[in-house]
A and B are shown apart, each in its own frame.
Chain A
């Protein structure tokens, strides 16, 4: 009976674990399904642990159970003391611990092999990766500031830990270690690359400090997102401000902008369009374009009067209008925009800035708004972004 359990039930548990685990990871890669992903991964891990206990016998389960309980309590206490959005550096030591654990296991294994054999080399590699992940994680603990390079290092901590586990799996011929470790390893690496790409850098460039030249415009703390996330935030907003500018005029996006506004109004949001008389190519350009698209006049607010609206807005969509929201430039006597009315969005909810790149606008200077934590960039042509946003808003209705 025990034999049957080991040879049949344990692999089945592993299989279930691997499948559940993939589904969880996949769910976590889409905003709408993300919350479903986390419990799936936990269930996958539970199945894996159950399979391992079945397969390997229950000799000193009490000892290990006690350790697991201790670890669980420490983890829970640690997590409860962190803010809801902790810096990656303060979280990375967790996978570092797992990597260390795997490294320790690999060191144990290495005792059993001749160091110059293939197994010995694999065990040494697993130990090295595990210990490296712990070491990098410790280094990250001392960096409280969130920079893209810290985020990439944190992803690599998980990657090293994953690969270390996979190599241990190779040595002990355990399928679930191979699968989950292999997936976690490359998932960590791919995540590192994606994070680096979002910061406009390559993985190696970021790790080894090469600064990308080009139109990053001197910004260093920019967050960007796709239309899916923007749609999710906007569809639950009660007060939405739309700030169109030259970018909308050039892309001829006014009809699409109006449709975004209508979609949001259908959800019960109060939508206002902020018009700067100087925006666009000719005075009053925005009024003309919005009028052409059929935006009702009572939705328009002049930029001078928009301050109170900005304060109560849950979501703001700035469309190719960065000069209108550049308060710093308008306050600087040396700047060409000095004295122009500018909308202060620092007190608004989520701000989405649709812009083709980070090149400065007419002001020729950085816009401090872009670096504020409530601001997210959506890079792209105004019309294409608006059309994608409309599609997202429509698809999420049912």
Chain B
């Protein structure tokens, strides 16, 4: 197996780490939970790691571990995304509210007219 630590890899890692910090830093609290569940789902990139290591060789131990790793990672990604989706749907209020506003406008409209 090709197994030297490439210095370029270290560079990529450090830059990625900085980017990760700056993208997420200072995110509004309302989004903490959905973002957390999204970063959680992102961890499922480990499915690629499992493929990378166990996908190319035929060896019982490796295959077994790899198979478990793939199953675990996909459970994470599917579960994580479904949960994130449901959380974010709760904020849809902003948009769907605007859509339903026209139907409900008749009610507050009366009060508005009286106020003017």
Contacts and interface: CB of A to CB of B under 8 A. Distances in A.
Q: Main SS of chain B's interface residues? A: helix
A223 interface: yes
Q: Main SS of chain A's interface residues? A: helix
Nearest to A299: B115
Given A80-B82, A187-B20, A95 B61 contact: no
B17 A186 contact: yes
Given A31-B31, A177-B45, A299-B115, A191 B24 contact: yes
Interface string A51-91: 11101110111011001111111111011101011101001
A247 interface: no
Interface residues on A, range: 35 or more
Contacts of B1: 112
B21 A64 contact: no
Interface in B28-78: 28-56, 58, 61-63, 65-78
B70 A68 contact: yes
A11 interface: no
Interface of A: 21-22, 24-26, 28-32, 34-35, 37-38, 41-42, 45, 48-49, 51-53, 55-57, 59-61, 63-64, 67-76, 78-80, 82, 84-86, 88, 91-92, 94-95, 97-102, 104-105, 107-109, 111-113, 118-119, 122, 130, 133, 151, 154-155, 157-158, 161-162, 164-166, 168-191, 193-195, 198, 223-226, 228-229, 232-233, 235-239, 265, 267-270, 296, 298-299, 376
Closest 3 CB pairs of A and B: A236-B97, A182-B16, A71-B74
Interface residues of B, number: 98
Contact of B38 (A28, A56, A63, A82): A28
A71 B28 contact: no
A300 B94 CA distance: 27
Contacts of B42: 21, 25, 41, 45, 158, 162, 180, 183-184, 187
A72 B21 contact: no
A292 B86 CA distance: 45
B3 A119 contact: yes
Interface string B77-116: 1111111111111111110011001001101110110110
